[in-house]
Amino acid sequence: MSMFNKSKYLNDTDYSPSHKEFLKSVGQYKLKIKLFQVGILVAFLVLWEVAATFKWIDPFFISKPSSIFNLIVNLSRDGSLFKHTAISVTEVIIGFVLGTIIGTSFAILLWWSDFVAKVFDPYLVVLNALPKIALGPIIIIWAGAGMRGIIVTAITISLVVTILSTYNGFKEVDSEKIKMLKTFGATKFQILQKVVFPSTIPNMINTMKINIGMSWIGVIVGEFLVSKAGLGYLIVYGGQVFRLDIVMAGVIILAVATALMYQLIAKLEGRFVKWR
């Protein structure tokens, strides 16, 4: 049994005093980071509340934490908060999953055929540089209003990033390993399955982290344009009626939902690192 496998059977009494001290210092350092993160957030909210209460800043334009909290509670009680959040999260998940699958599949095609990669290279460069948010109205007209158009917008915004990032990860795989497999007569599919794909999983997970944010951008843009429900609609409605507490509540819920989805992918990455 290797030293790595033995380590999981060790208990606290099996560690040396110096190692215990090291583990304690690591734990204290992580706790210190968490405390500072929470402290900064609390200090910001307190300062915001005090500044709005004493009219140092105009609460009409930026509201204040207590008003936003009360609004979130009221929206939760009547169920509208869960309705808007569930719609947006559903659209993001569908757009994210489809964008990741389609983008990864296209990246495999580019890696598989050097001819196809050279043909599509200038188009991908142009599409990557293009501000895709500007295409939102066109996409909505083509795909149709409603959830379908919003999901297509999310896919469009995240797709090119997925293709380029995954394809670049494929190209950076150790060429010596690929040559060795070719020497033993491995097919292209076997090379992809045994070397290229496993080697680029960390890169793909990082791409998924980026795509979460890109998918949210696409969904919010789509909801700004056509939706009658969702966090994007909530934000637009708040702006139209000059209710900045609604706008800020929508933004805060959006930030929390994005952070939670990001953390899920980070946990997936942690599990993969441990597995490796």
Q: Which two tokens stand for residue 12?
A: 């606290």
Mean of per-residue pLDDT scores for the chain: 82
14 pLDDT higher than 70: no
Q: Which two tokens stand for residue 19?
A: 């190692």
- Residues 53 and 64: beta-carbon distance below 8 Å: yes
The pLDDT of residue 170 is 86
Lowest mean pLDDT, pick from 107-116, 119-128, 198-207, 265-274: 265-274
Q: Which two tokens stand for residue 260?
A: 């939670």
For residue 265, how many C-alpha atoms fall within 13 Å in the half-sphere facing its CB?
22
CA 85 to chain centre: 16
Domains of the chain: 3-57 (no CATH), 68-275 (1.10.3720.10)
Cα–Cα distance measured from residue 248 to residue 62, given in angstroms and rounded to the nearest whole number: 8
Q: What is the C-alpha R_g of the chain?
A: 24
- What is the distance between the terminal CA atoms of the chain, rounded to a whole angstrom? 17
Q: Which two tokens stand for residue 110?
A: 């580019």
Helices (H), the chain: 3-7, 17-53, 59-62, 65-77, 80-112, 114-129, 136-143, 147-171, 175-183, 188-191, 197-199, 201-225, 231-240, 244-275
- Residues 250 and 81: beta-carbon distance below 8 Å: no
116 pLDDT higher than 80: yes
Q: What are the residues whose beta carbons fall under 8 Å from the beta carbon of 249, sequence distance 6 or more? A: 68, 71, 72, 75, 234, 238
For residues 217-237, average pLDDT: 84
CA distances from 131 to 135, 171, 191 (A): 8, 26, 36
Handedness of CA 266, 271, 274, 276 (dihedral sign): negative
Lowest mean pLDDT, pick from 22-26, 191-195, 228-232, 244-248: 22-26
CA distances from 89 to 138, 160, 168, 248 (A): 23, 21, 29, 18
Question: How much is the pTM?
Answer: 0.78
17 pLDDT higher than 70: yes
8 pLDDT higher than 80: no
